Amino acid sequence: MTTTHTTSSTPSQQELVRFLEDRFACAQACTECARACALRASLVDVGQGEELELLRRRGIMCAEVCDATCRALSEQNSEDEAAVRAQLEWCVTVCLETAHVFDRHPGAEQAADACRTCAKACGEFTASLG
């Protein structure tokens, strides 16, 4: 009698739940970051100086990157792990750079914190991809 051993590469229920929780936390952090960055950018009038223009542009860019990341995470057909990983890494980079710019401006602390929270959540989700 021959016994055949099969190994399953299917993730356990616990791994799947953790994956979905990490994905949701990242998407939620992206949404919050996008909202905070868009608000911060809207408070800066165009033409108020080079440094404030950088703050405004950074806020807009970060909001757009976070929005795109959230959309990528919510799409059912986002099976391309390499593309999702690249999007997440891009989001982490932009969020950290934006937080650094916001740190230099009084009143932008909440947006900077949202950026750092988003970067952390996306980094953790990236790590969970393996």
Is it the case that residue 2 has pLDDT exceeding 60?
no
Phi-psi region for residue 73, left (φ > 0), alpha (ψ -120 to 50) or beta?
alpha
Is it the case that residue 57 has pLDDT exceeding 80?
yes
At 8 the pLDDT is 47
CA atoms in the 13 A half-sphere facing the CB of 126 = 19
The neighbour count for residue 100, using CB atoms within 10 Å, is: 13
Whole-angstrom distance, CA of residue 48 vs CA of residue 42: 13
pLDDT over 90 for what percent of the chain? Answer: 36
Q: What is the pLDDT of residues 13-37, one digit of tens each?
A: 787 788 888 888 888 998 999 999 8
